[in-house]
A and B are shown apart, each in its own frame.
Chain A
């Protein structure tokens, strides 16, 4: 079946450093790629998304890049802060009977001050 691979599973950085999380997807028909941040005991929150008609999108310290040929996309966080510590999930759209999302297994980001 279709799947999304996410790496690394854990990432530790110093405050102020950059963090990069990478995902690859298998369904060549996928055309929507959101990223979510999940804090302990909470539901995931959408932080940025990208559609297949663009290669990069940026929102302040967060950016996402997409390479449709290679079927991979990445999340970049610059100038990391302790409050960026959380679990991050990537996802890709899939066409079932309708459209849904398939998620990666998550990356636990720890930012130490």
Chain B
């Protein structure tokens, strides 16, 4: 089945550690996105990429980094510079600039 796979579903990080969240899609979509969701909040855009080897900062990019070396993959690294990393992270993709975005089932990151 075509879709977006995020792994792992739950992730724990120690203070001062970097951690990488995986996002893979087999929909042949050009654009991919990372959002952060906090309780009672909407989705806030961290980074997005509209084509391989190119990506742009969203509203809350500080403390995060991404890469887009392959069309199907858009990993997100939460660095130690992110002071409040505990959240639900969602990855999405779309066929084009204004195509509908399809979401994965998220990764819940917690700090030990």
Q: Which residues of A are at the interface with B, using a C-beta cutoff of 8 A?
A: 1, 4, 6, 9, 31-32, 34, 36, 41-46, 49, 51, 89, 91, 93, 96-106
B side interface size, CB within 8 A: 26
7 closest Cβ pairs, A-B complex? A43-B103, A103-B42, A105-B42, A103-B43, A99-B97, A43-B105, A97-B56
Other than the given A9-B40, A103-B43, A105-B42, 18 more pairs (CB < 8 A) read A6-B42, A34-B101, A36-B103, A42-B106, A43-B90, A51-B98, A89-B42, A89-B43, A91-B43, A98-B48, A98-B50, A98-B97, A99-B98, A100-B48, A102-B45, A103-B42, A104-B42, A106-B42
B contact residues around A104 at 8 Å (CB):
42
- By a CB distance below 8 angstroms, the chain A residues around B101 are 34, 46, 101
Contacts of A98 in B (CB 8 A): 48, 50, 56, 97
Q: Which residue of B lies closest to A9 (CB)?
A: B40
A43 touches B104 (CB 8 A): yes
In the docked arrangement, what's the CA distance between A97 and B97, Å? Answer: 11
A100 partner residues in chain B, CB cutoff 8 A: 33, 45, 48, 58
Q: A102-B45, A105-B42 are in contact. Are A43 and B56 (CB under 8 A)?
A: no
Q: Which residue of B lies closest to A98 (CB)?
A: B50
A-B contact pairs, 11 of them (CB 8 A): A42-B105, A42-B106, A44-B43, A44-B90, A51-B98, A93-B98, A96-B56, A98-B97, A100-B33, A101-B101, A104-B42
Q: Which residues of A contact B6 (CB under 8 A)?
A: 43
The answer for the CA separation of A93 and B100 in the assembled complex, in Å, is 11
Q: Nearest chain-A residue to B59 (Cβ)?
A: A1
Question: Which chain A residues border B4 with CB–CB below 8 Å?
Answer: 43
- Chain A residue, CB-CB nearest to B90: A43
| Residue B84 interfacial (CB < 8 Å) | no
Interface hits, B33-85 → A, CB 8 Å: 33, 35, 40-45, 48, 50, 56, 58-59
Task: Tell me, rounded to whole Å, the shortest Cβ–Cβ distance linking A37 to chain B.
Answer: 11
